[in-house]
A and B are shown apart, each in its own frame.
Chain A
């Protein structure tokens, strides 16, 4: 392995950016391809697919054999609101492989008795997200209904290009939210990225069912990263 390639790869990994180490198995030469780099031809297609799936493996392209070792940052799920839906979502997200962080300044909601797992922060989103900023490998679900708590986090998620942004609330609630976000400086293109009403349309009714709908939508968004169009369904 080329020492420069190792340094580059580790720097990307530390910065929570996706990268692939591409090794030519014929001559052992390797290089780092960062997400968004343009690579032509069959190899480029295989690389794009590997970024999406996160799966490492061998590919043949241009008559040569390459090994693609994919390094994706661990995706995480940040939930604004320690509500009933979040209580159901916490264990589900863990099982699905998304570490979950729950943020809610209302201490009556964000209590250790109500949440047996996940990282729980009884603080304002402004404070937590300054300490632990969102990034492209974070999903944000805002489920408090309360503009004072949700809005800042939604704007931060759009600016950080989170791979998923969802907000609970009816179309009417969302229409008002859109006005507020526009006033905060969000662009219409950014606002288009918000999944609202939140969750895939599976007819979810109970808080646990809505949690399933949200988690499914998060997974769909994660697996279709970089593809045209957004994974959008609706429920809740």
Chain B
């Protein structure tokens, strides 16, 4: 088997698949849009299990906490959510991006 060059121990989508095989409930968050100086590019993933364990990132650590609590809700309801984060003082969310950028994050349940 040729080396895939994938860092499987840290790859969020591989971890999500392994969690699924272990029978865990999993949510996948994906950066779907960015404006300004967003820290992670479109397509980046954060994966979360029902206990709040997570891997990957959708920002430089600024909004992961909020995404995780939304993700646990999404795992419960099964309904995907679109979250938007901007500069801290101008958004409905409690958290923001200190870099001044804005991002949209799609959160969905696996399965």
Interface residues of A (CB under 8 A from B): 1-3, 6-7, 9-10, 13-16, 23, 25, 28, 55-58, 67, 69-70, 73-74, 76, 132-133, 135
Contact = CB atoms under 8 A, between A and B. Distances in A.
A13 B41 CA distance: 19
Nearest to A55: B42
Interface size class of B (residues with CB under 8 A): 20 to 34
Interface stretch (B3-11, B65-73, B87-95): B3-11
Contacts of A132: 2-3
Nearest to B78: A28
Contacts, number: 56
Contacts of B109: 1
26 contacts: A1-B28, A1-B108, A1-B109, A1-B110, A1-B111, A3-B110, A6-B110, A10-B17, A13-B4, A13-B6, A13-B13, A14-B8, A15-B4, A16-B4, A16-B5, A25-B106, A28-B80, A56-B41, A57-B33, A58-B33, A67-B30, A67-B32, A73-B4, A73-B5, A76-B5, A135-B2
Contact of B4 (A14, A23, A28): A14
Q: Identify the 8 closest CB pairs spanning chains A and B, nearest first.
A: A56-B43, A14-B4, A3-B111, A56-B42, A69-B43, A28-B80, A133-B2, A1-B110
A23 B42 CA distance: 14
Given A3-B110, A3-B111, A6-B20, A74 B5 contact: yes
B80 A10 contact: no
A21 B70 CA distance: 23
Interface of B: 2-6, 8, 13-14, 16-17, 20, 28, 30, 32-33, 41-43, 80, 106, 108-111
Contacts of A15: 4
Contacts of B5: 16, 73-74, 76
